[in-house]
Amino acid sequence: MSNREPPLNDRTIDMPAMGFAVTLVLLAGHVAGDGSTPPGDDDFAARRARVQVAQSARIELIRRLTPSVVCIFPKDNRAGGGSGVLIDADGYGLTNYHVVAPLLPSREGEGGLADGNLYPLEVLGLDPVGDVAMFRLKSDSPFHAATLGNSDTLAVGDETLALGNPFLLAEDFTPTVTFGIVSGLHRYQPGAGRALIYSDCIQVDASINPGNSGGPLFDMTGKLIGINGRVSIEERGRINVGVGYAITINQIRRFIPALRAGLTTQHGAAGFTVADGPDGVTVDRIEKDCAAARAGIRVGDRLRQFAGTPIRSANHFLSLLGTYPAGWPVEAVLERGDITIKFRGRLEASPLPRPRGARDGAQRKMPDPFAPIPPDSEANRRAVRRALKLFIEFCGGSDALNRTMKLEWSGRRFNVDLPGNAPIPIERDEEKPPGTADLPPGAAPSDIERMIRWELYGAEPNAPRSPFQVVGSDEVDGRIAVVLELKKHDVHQPRIGLDDETGELLFVEFTHGTQAVRARYEYGEVKRSGTLRLPMRRRIHEDDRLVAEEQYDSAIAVGP
């Protein structure tokens, strides 16, 4: 018998055995021909133990995440649906707009959890442009919720878990789990006209199929990093080919305050468009009465940065712009010759999708997914109560606020336009106002700010008729604010921004003067004064231009 190996085409290969052998080699870390001594049994056992530990950790992670995943169905109908994920113990959750569109305009559906139970589901806020919606499950008991992550920290190659209900397989509402990696970042997927646009989204190879829409994408620490919603499919069937897309959680975070309040949100528009050219990304068209035009931006200016991000191309700018709500504060850096132009302003509102309506007089069998939906007033009242309760708790409690009759401030003011920016001493006593009477149109900005702030200090979250309503979201120093409008002071159009997670006061803004200047006081550096927590820094803007900063050394809360 010859010792020579037979030709390859004469060999019989046992694939299962070969796969097992390859697994052993990989576990042992052995590379043939490297001249090293193969590891012994102890080394192999240690490596196998590490693999088993990693597998056990992954199984435990999935077990922990499963209770937060929702199977979404129309009311009394389990023939169709999608997926969602709970983000707080009160039953609030996220999904895709196209998942809940069939539930409109009744806003009612059902949500199944892995405990085997169906819960009443109500649809809250809607983002038809970005394909996001918020819902709430109803129960007397708290729910298990996912923890929001930071999608900006993702890198291509990071491992992910996608959970959901593809093909309605989960008859007991236990989600299907698929595993993969981040295949790409900052992808742009056009939508249907103005709707269902995926800007700056995550591409994954974890298997995502019909029914996964609206379900969560987790990183391997268990943090929610995206909402699955779209998949590239084989042309002749709705079959996944390993290319799925998820909306980043950082984009969704900016819309959550409005969605929680039952609002239909709009995305931002810059007021100008750009094109790629030999000199880079340049402005090629600008609307006449937009904030950018009023700031002096012209056609031909080169766009270098937008919202702190260097702009690589016109498509990159469009993708980034689509992640922000209307009215969001942004900064842009442009160049004109050797001149650098810095622009700070607020995004215009991009139009909502047009209602489809009936064609040629025919009656639609399904509800128009883009028909106007009235705001949910009860959801708004709940959102106001939540925001005010968080604010009161952050300040030190209702007793601490109610006992405060006077605030004594001591510090310095720096006027930006003052030569040398010399500090001006501040010694100010604020008496608690006896009531909430409106101020005349000519009132000083400092008096208006004080009035609004004291009205907030005295707010009652459970009042049957609250003077506040949620109107949207905003941002201060990277922190997302829920924006409350004080309805009864129409002359000054006051708005208050509270940190959406902690309740901390972030800003007060209002209109004043004959020129209707929009003033904005931004707060920070909170310190405790007795049982009360107060901001020790104020930045004062007028029409988005910084005019002064106040820094306080002490703030004393005086009780009765």
The CATH number of residue 300's host domain is 2.30.42.10
Q: Are residues 87 and 225 in the same domain?
A: yes
Share of the chain above pLDDT 90, in %: 69
What tokens does 274 get?
């750009």
Helix axes 249-260, 377-395, angle to 10 degrees: 110
Catalytic residue among 68, 98, 473, 474: 98
Q: Are residues 434 and 340 in the same domain?
A: no
Mean pLDDT (whole number) for 385-411: 96
Whichever domain contains 533, its CATH number is 2.50.20
Q: What is the pTM of this model?
A: 0.88
Q: Is residue 246 part of a domain?
A: yes
Whether 98 is a known active-site residue: answer yes
pLDDT digits (tens, 9 = 90+) for 370-392: 777 888 899 999 999 999 999 99
Cα–Cα distance measured from residue 78 to residue 408, given in angstroms and rounded to the nearest whole number:
61
Model confidence at 237, in pLDDT bands (50, 70, 90)? low
Residues 6+ apart with CB under 8 A from 529: 554, 555, 556, 557
Cα–Cα distance measured from residue 95 to residue 195, given in angstroms and rounded to the nearest whole number:
15
Q: Does residue 72 surpass a pLDDT of 60?
A: yes
Long-range pairs for 455-462: beta carbons < 8 A, 24 or more residues apart? 455/486, 456/391, 456/496, 456/505, 456/508, 457/395, 457/401, 457/404, 457/432, 458/401, 458/402, 459/388, 459/391, 459/392, 460/388, 461/384, 461/385, 461/388, 461/389, 461/392, 462/385
Element (H, E) at 176: strand 176-189
Whether 477 is a known active-site residue: answer no
Please give the biggest Cα pair distance in the chain: 109
Which pLDDT score is estimated for 194?
A: 87
Q: Are residues 31 and 91 in the same domain?
A: no
The whole-chain average pLDDT of the chain stands at 88
Cα–Cα distance measured from residue 13 to residue 21, given in angstroms and rounded to the nearest whole number:
12
Cα–Cα distance measured from residue 501 to residue 303, given in angstroms and rounded to the nearest whole number:
34
Is the Cβ–Cβ distance between 497 and 483 less than 8 Å?
A: yes
Q: Are residues 148 and 50 in the same domain?
A: no
Which pLDDT score is estimated for 11?
A: 35
Q: Are residues 339 and 287 in the same domain?
A: yes
Cα–Cα distance measured from residue 202 to residue 190, given in angstroms and rounded to the nearest whole number:
14
Which pLDDT score is estimated for 24?
A: 38
Is the Cβ–Cβ distance between 215 and 175 less than 8 Å?
A: yes
Place of tokens 């992640």: 323
Element (H, E) at 472: strand 468-476
Whether 398 is a known active-site residue: answer no
Q: Does residue 364 surpass a pLDDT of 70?
A: no
Cα–Cα distance measured from residue 291 to residue 273, given in angstroms and rounded to the nearest whole number:
13
Residues 6+ apart with CB under 8 A from 206: 160, 161, 162, 178, 179, 180, 181, 217, 244
The total domain count for the chain is 4
Q: Are residues 338 and 234 in the same domain?
A: no
Alpha helix (H) residue ranges in 434-509: 445-457
pLDDT digits (tens, 9 = 90+) for 246-278: 999 999 999 999 999 999 999 999 999 999 999
Where residue 256 falls (left for φ over 0; alpha for ψ -120 to 50; beta otherwise) is: alpha
Q: Is residue 385 part of a domain?
A: yes
Which pLDDT score is estimated for 363?
A: 54
pLDDT digits (tens, 9 = 90+) for 300-356: 999 999 999 999 999 999 999 999 999 999 999 999 999 999 988 999 999 999 887
Q: Are residues 394 and 286 in the same domain?
A: no
Of 64, 85, 104, the domain-final residue: 64
CA nearest neighbour of 443 among 511, 496, 495, 542: 511
* Domain residue limits at 497: 377-558
Cα–Cα distance measured from residue 408 to residue 190, given in angstroms and rounded to the nearest whole number:
55
Weakest mean pLDDT among 101-110, 150-159, 494-503: 101-110
Q: Does residue 4 surpass a pLDDT of 80?
A: no
Which pLDDT score is estimated for 3?
A: 41
Q: Does residue 368 surpass a pLDDT of 80?
A: no
Q: Does residue 137 surpass a pLDDT of 60?
A: yes
Q: Does residue 460 surpass a pLDDT of 60?
A: yes
Whichever domain contains 188, its CATH number is 2.40.10.120
Mean pLDDT (whole number) for 284-305: 93
Q: Is residue 554 part of a domain?
A: yes
| Degrees to nearest 5, angle at CA 477 with 475 and 481 | 30
Exposed e or buried b for every residue in 16-38, given b needs 16+ CB within 10 A?
eeeeeeeeeeebbeeeeeeeeee
Is the Cβ–Cβ distance between 96 and 229 less than 8 Å?
A: yes
Q: Is the pLDDT higher at 22 or at 300? A: 300
Q: Are residues 191 and 336 in the same domain?
A: no
Q: Are residues 389 and 260 in the same domain?
A: no
Is the Cβ–Cβ distance between 203 and 217 less than 8 Å?
A: no
Neighbours of 344 (CB within 10 A): 15
Q: Are residues 458 and 509 in the same domain?
A: yes
Neighbours of 316 (CB within 10 A): 19
Q: For residue 140, what is the DSSP state? A: S
Neighbours of 536 (CB within 10 A): 18
Cα–Cα distance measured from residue 262 to residue 260, given in angstroms and rounded to the nearest whole number:
6
Of 20, 48, 64, the domain-final residue: 64
Q: Is residue 450 part of a domain?
A: yes
Model confidence at 505, in pLDDT bands (50, 70, 90)? very high
Catalytic residue among 68, 127, 131, 267: 131
Q: Is residue 320 part of a domain?
A: no
Long-range pairs for 354-358: beta carbons < 8 A, 24 or more residues apart? 354/193, 354/194
Q: Is residue 366 part of a domain?
A: no
Cα–Cα distance measured from residue 296 to residue 341, given in angstroms and rounded to the nearest whole number:
9
Mean pLDDT (whole number) for 20-31: 40
Q: Are residues 168 and 45 in the same domain?
A: no
Model confidence at 502, in pLDDT bands (50, 70, 90)? very high
Q: Is residue 24 part of a domain?
A: yes
Is the Cβ–Cβ distance between 279 and 302 less than 8 Å?
A: yes
Cα–Cα distance measured from residue 138 to residue 67, given in angstroms and rounded to the nearest whole number:
15
Catalytic residue among 213, 319, 350, 473: 213
Count CA atoms within 13 Å of residue 48 on its CB side.
11
Q: Is residue 365 part of a domain?
A: no
Q: Are residues 122 and 227 in the same domain?
A: yes
